[in-house]
Amino acid sequence: MSDSYQPIYDAVRSRISGGNIGEAIREAAHQAFDISHSQAMVRDQFMAVAWEMQRPAVLFRPSVYPDGTKWCALFGADIISGVCGFGDTPETAMADFDKNWHVQRTPDFVLAAKADKAQFGVGA
């Protein structure tokens, strides 16, 4: 055993003398375990989850319940004064809720807009 140990030790030592061991290990690990594709996939999934976490339906957690033949996602006391979305499934109701969250106006705003249109003879 000691007969073969010394020549191997000397050969390895002569190869790595004066070299940067850390760089050699880093390069060997990089070649053996290339994770660049996996890293990009994990980054993309993280971005997708972060985007989903910013949805109004996730942040405000509306109540979801069946309403007739549709599902209703409601945030507020009722449909008139709150924000709601409807769909055939809870998922589509939540997607409609997200859309309505960005465009729905208050009942007072809607009444004022109708009064302005009636005043000028538009839509009467």
pLDDT in tens, 34-79: 777 888 999 999 999 999 999 999 999 999 999 999 999 999 999 8
pLDDT at 56: 96
Based on DSSP, count helices (H) and strands (E) in the chain, helices before strands. Answer: 6, 3
The predicted pLDDT at position 76 comes to 92
pLDDT score recorded for residue 24: 75
pLDDT, tens only, 21-37: 777 777 877 777 777 78
Q: Is the pTM of this model over 0.95?
A: no
